[in-house]
Amino acid sequence: MVATAPRTRAEIPADDTWDLTAIFPDKAAWEAAIESVRADLPRLTVMQGTLGEGAGQLLAAFALQDSIGNRLGRIFAWAGLRKDEDNANAEAVANYDRAVKLSVDASEVGSFVEPEILAMPDGVIESYLDGEPALAVYRHALESLLRQRAHVLSADQERLLAAAGEMAMAPGQIFSMLNDADLRYGTVTDEDGNSVVLTKGSYSRFLESRSRDVRKQAFTLMHQAYRDHRNTLAATYAASVKADAFYARVHNYGSTIEAALSPHNIPLDVYDNLIATVNGRLGLLHRYIALRKRVLGLDRLGVYDLYVPIVAEVKREFTWEAGVETVLGALGSLGDDYRSVLAGGLDSRWVDVYENVGKTSGAYSWGVYGVHPFILMNWSSQLRDVFTLAHEAGHAMHSHYSSNTQPYVYSHYTLFVAEVASTVNELLLTDALRRQTDDRLFEAYLVNHVLEDLRGTLMRQTMFAEFERWAHAHVEAGDALTPDLMDSRYAELCRTYYGPDVEVDEHVAAEWSRIPHFYRAFYVYQYATGISAAAALSRQIIEEGEPARQRYRAFLSGGSSRYSIDLLRSAGVDMASPQPIDRALDLFESLIDELERLLGGADSH
């Protein structure tokens, strides 16, 4: 059989690609923007040492920083999105590297601002705020900065650290090039005997195959590719963790996790509480896996058996157009304005739809202030793609409302709430699909889908969070992160979380080496807190209607104008309490009961 391969970029119709001319009409305009930023950097430089001269000078510095940041955001987005279309495009990669360099240069030039503000005597900033009404927009940013006074160094020291920023980004960039451009995974013999090239885009489809042999082939080939580079990947990740530890240490934080949470005023208890609460109820995950084992009729599961739908013969494919219609129909409870804006965006090339050779894997949304969000997809016509679209549309609309409501300084929502809006959309989609069907097996499939979301997002990401915290603590203690050590620790966590019914072998143990989010320290726990908050918010929207919708819209529009904990609390969810995590786990338990009912018993496969 002839192996099938993804299309080249040139073979993708333009209407199925994003329209980057919304950012810059052509490369010449991108180059002009770079020159405009470079021309303004000296204007910012000469302000060093002058911020204490008065409120007007501080306001001028902030305004110039915002202007540079806004333009730099567009420069970086245009280059990053273009690179992600095809990571083997040398010119696009070079342009992205130039954008990274410019970003580092701008960070270095502006690095004096925070130390200079923090060096001012107590009471000066408050007097500035009282005397200059136009400075009031920066009150929250200034108060947040002053709260971090102990962690900001002198202007010269911060400038030196900013200059080193490009080197600190190198481990993640090296991983990205290996992961997205260089690694090859071989071919899988599919259910029909066809030899199919294994890509990250096709991987999840293979894991959902009804053929256990296909699932095992895909899983083994994928992870063997990373095992073949385990020493390189271990060194790359260890370098990333060392960079995190270095920056935490020089900024006077007690740990890397404190450095990650403190700037956004997230209590460390939130992280500890998540891990403790999930660990205290891992029996639910073991129960669900035991149910899965019985339904699939297996004596023991491989990790590659955890993704196949356990409801037989549920196969629904969606064209892109049908997927868009399904998502828009499911989000009606968020209001006409929400649905109208999203429909317009999806119809005007916000989205890069299909996989092509060299394209960045997975999916994401990239908000561009003053333009609109962009969504990367790798559409393969599966139901999971519909859920992915709903998810990324949630990110995009969060960016839209924040950017259109807040000034530039508060236009970006924080990492802590980054996954809330996306997960609300997924839960609303599930609810809509369940209400629309009278097909018992399809409803069971949807219930299983939510169970999988909770398993993968609440429990699996908490497992990742445990691994990540262990890795950072290990380096902070002065110990080395070797591939054998990381394999061993990751395997131990898998055995604890998955329980006795899942076989953990050397390929499972290597999974840590292919997780891109590990290069963004202490990000993944927010998937788990996010789905917990989203479960509560989506239920409020469904049950309360307009009052909950208004609170939710205010949350989406809040950007970073308040601390994330406070924005969520105003929306109706208190993440400082263990209750949202417990309620999400209660939902997991009730869905196991529901799945057993819909299947008519665990042995009905």
- Residues labelled catalytic: 392
Return d(Cα 12, Cα 378) in angstroms, integer.
12
3-state class of 438 per DSSP? coil
Q: Are 104 and 96 in contact (CB under 8 A)?
A: no
Question: Residues with Cβ < 8 Å from 300, sequence gap 6 or more?
Answer: 293, 501, 502, 503
Q: Token pair for residue 540?
A: 């409020």
Rounded to the nearest angstrom, the gap between the alpha carbon of residue 337 and the centroid of all alpha carbons in its chain is 25
Q: Which one-letter DSSP state was computed for residue 3?
A: P
What amino acid occupies position 294? R
- Residue of 173, 163, 148, 103 whose CA lies nearest to 260: 148
Query: Which H helix or E strand runs over 552?
Result: helix 546-557
Query: Which H helix or E strand runs over 188?
Result: strand 187-189
Return d(Cα 174, Cα 167) in angstroms, integer.
11
Q: Token pair for residue 178?
A: 């290996």
Q: Are 475 and 171 in contact (CB under 8 A)?
A: no
Q: Are 69 and 370 in contact (CB under 8 A)?
A: no
Alpha-carbon separation of residue 36 from 27, 64, 96 (angstroms):
14, 12, 17
- Name the pairing type of β-strands 195-197 and 187-189: antiparallel
Which neighbouring-strand residues pair with 577?
A: none
DSSP 566-598: HHHHHHT--TTSSHHHHHHHHHHHHHHHHHHHH
- Residue of 474, 471, 434 whose CA lies nearest to 450: 434
DSSP 293-343: HHHHT-SSEEGGGSSS-SSTT---B--HHHHHHHHHHHTGGG-HHHHHHHH
